[in-house]
């Protein structure tokens, strides 16, 4: 599998595109981190205000180590902001803080796609840990005996992770839309600052899009192997 030219082409293309998007995202956040918000609010203050404005009083805003490690944890109801975002008073910090609070709002209102994503997490955790070994074993067994059952199981595990990647897309885009609407409607940012927030979140969303499409491309590759073998029987 590792030396199949088609597989190498797919994984290589995914890597290159992902690398380009990730670098573009980093450059955008580096640039917008230098734009100081006219209202002087920090990422923490932005997050706390958005939560209050949406009637959410049981979610805590905390700082977490690392860069672009920001996330909302529905298990303990915390908005986790990376150290830079937590204390920064920039358009980049405002965009990230509001986006993560967008997830908190989704949780509070029972957004269906977030609920589905949460239900998939345990299954995806198991699938992602097993699928590589099951796929390798499946291809080896198929090559040796022609039996495709193990490979089919591996593809099913891969399909679960691909489904998760696509379910994540509307969750992320909706959180960004909620964030941008709140920033604009409540006049938290000026028009030029809003444009920067929107651009930053657009590139952040594209990382999820690339991941989903890459997962789908790899899944289809393994499906082609399975179907090709069955047709040759």
Pick the catalytic residue: 45, 48, 60, 100?
100
Quote the DSSP letter at residue 56: -
d(CA 70, CA 93): 10
CB 81 within 8 A of CB 41: no
Positions of the chain with pLDDT under 50: 1-2
Q: Is 83 a catalytic residue?
A: no
Q: What is the pTM of this model?
A: 0.89
**pLDDT per residue as tens digits for the range 134-182:** 999 999 999 888 899 999 999 999 999 999 999 999 999 999 999 999 9
């Amino acid at each position: 599998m590792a030396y199949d030219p088609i597989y190498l082409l797919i994984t290589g293309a995914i890597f290159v595109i992902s690398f380009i998007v990730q670098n573009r995202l980093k450059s955008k956040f580096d640039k917008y981190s230098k734009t100081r918000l006219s209202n002087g609010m920090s990422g923490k203050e932005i997050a706390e205000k958005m939560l209050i404005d949406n009637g959410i009083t049981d979610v805590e805003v905390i700082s977490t180590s690392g860069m672009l490690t920001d996330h909302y944890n529905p298990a303990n109801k915390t908005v986790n902001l990376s150290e830079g975002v937590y204390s920064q008073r920039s358009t980049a910090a405002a965009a990230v803080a509001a986006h993560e609070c967008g997830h908190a709002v989704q949780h509070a209102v029972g957004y269906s796609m977030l609920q589905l994503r949460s239900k998939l997490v345990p299954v995806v955790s198991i699938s992602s840990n097993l699928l590589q070994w099951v796929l390798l074993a499946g291809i080896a067994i198929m090559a040796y005996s022609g039996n495709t059952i193990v490979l089919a199981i591996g593809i099913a595990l891969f399909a679960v992770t691909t489904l998760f990647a696509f379910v994540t897309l509307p969750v992320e885009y909706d959180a960004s839309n909620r964030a941008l609407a709140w920033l604009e409607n409540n006049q938290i940012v000026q028009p030029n600052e809003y444009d920067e927030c929107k651009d930053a979140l657009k590139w952040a969303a594209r990382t999820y899009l690339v991941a989903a499409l890459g997962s789908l491309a790899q899944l289809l590759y393994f499906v082609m192997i399975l179907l090709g073998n069955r047709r040759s029987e």
